Structure 1
Amino acid sequence: MLTMDDIVRDGHPVLRKVAEEVKLPASQEDKTILESMLQYVKNSQDPEVAQEHGLRPGIGLAAPQINVSKRMIAVHVNDEKGNLFSYALFNPKIISHSVERSYLAAGEGCLSVDESIPGYVPRYARVTVKGTDLDGTEVKLRLKGLPAIVFQHEIDHLNGIMFYDHINKQDPYKEIPNASPIER
């Protein structure tokens, strides 16, 4: 079981590397790693399990965050209507996105970043993501709202990009043109 001890923190060089594509069909080792990532995110949202194991709650995790430089992400999040988006994907890619932007009104956080970094993180309001699930099936997801933001945040990790790289350094709360806030 993954715990906070397995998660590398900001400043670790793996977080700034571009992760390698996963050879498909995925090896048993890669599948096991990806399954454990999804399990972490689920466990971290269960108050009893999280407290017992000292897990910080998360809604997404990318393999570089556990010091595995491979293109794998796990997301477990509900949208504003309560629909669950629970995916473990190999080689996820954004294949299209909206012109409109969105951002989390409260800002973003990250399991690899211990301190709070204030500011708006501009994201695409809608994205289409393609990837391969644990069964080897190609998945195509049309996302908006919080799930779209989470997938963009995790895919950024695969490219060595941290959420705070997107924040305006001079004015962290500067209005983002053509963007709508998302409350969480």
Structure 2
Amino acid sequence: MKSQSNRYGTVAITIHWLSALLICALLASGFRAAGLTDGDAKIGILSAHVPMGITILALTLVRIAWWVFADSKPASPKGDPIWQSLSAKAVHLLFYVVILGMAASGIGMLALSGAGAIILGAAAGDLPNFHDYAPRIPHGIGARAIVGLLVLHVGAALYHHFIKRDGLIWRMWYGSRADGDAK
């Protein structure tokens, strides 16, 4: 369950991949909802988007608690320049900051606009114009920041896998190839 010096444990791996899938779904649904003018279609998308966002918030808080109280991350790959190790740590930290900021701004938009009850089906009505609420700006910036961080994160993983061929990608997967050794 816990991580080892050369690989992540099953708890960290599960949280990572579940978060990755949900974040991709959140980005797709959020960008789609932002482009819609049909209120009913927008409510339909946001009725999935909001619970997924709350789930990502919970997973992120569990992940932070896991790293602080229960587990330690594997060591940085041997032979990597210090700038790569620091860049990886910065990208991971920025993921946490942006995800928490996205959750706060999303909750802020729902609270200020009163749209939460409509989106979650507890009340009928039309959605407000979210652009009229200040948390919309950091929410939109955060979505674009997450896309940039994903490009950096996935790009680094692919660089290690296809260029360096160091087996690093297997540290974040289940099974026998997850030993961090190139195979």
> Shared fold by TM > 0.5?
no
Bigger fraction of residues in helix:
2
Which has more radius of gyration?
2
Using structure 1 for the length normalisation, give the TM-score.
Answer: 0.30
Bigger fraction of residues in strand:
1
Using structure 2 for the length normalisation, give the TM-score.
Answer: 0.30
